[in-house]
Amino acid sequence: MGTTKHFDFDKETNTIAEICKALGHPTRMQIMTLLWKKNNRTCGEIVSLIPLAQSTISKHLLELKKAELLNVKNVGKKTIYSIEVDKIQLLKKYLINYLSNRAISNEAEPLAITTAPKMKNEKKLNLKQYNYQFPAKKSKTD
What pLDDT does residue 106 have?
Answer: 45
Neighbours of 87 (CB within 10 A): 20
The answer to whether the CB of 31 falls within 8 A of the CB of 21 is no
- Range with top average pLDDT, 13-17, 109-113, 131-135, 138-142: 13-17
What pLDDT does residue 115 have?
Answer: 53
What pLDDT does residue 90 have?
Answer: 92
User: What is the pTM (predicted TM-score) of this model?
Assistant: 0.65
Q: At what angle do helices 54-66 and 26-37 cross, to 10 degrees?
A: 80
In the chain, what are the domain boundaries?
A: 11-100
Q: What is the mean pLDDT of the chain?
A: 80
pLDDT digits (tens, 9 = 90+) for 96-114: 988 888 755 444 555 554 5
Q: What are phi and psi of 78, to 5 degrees?
A: -90, 145
Confidence of residue 118 (pLDDT cuts 50, 70, 90): low
Q: What are phi and psi of 22, to 5 degrees?
A: -65, -35
The class that CATH gives domain 11-100 is mainly alpha
pLDDT digits (tens, 9 = 90+) for 6-27: 777 888 888 899 999 999 999 9
Higher model confidence: residue 12 or residue 36? 36
- Bridge partners of 41, per DSSP, are 81
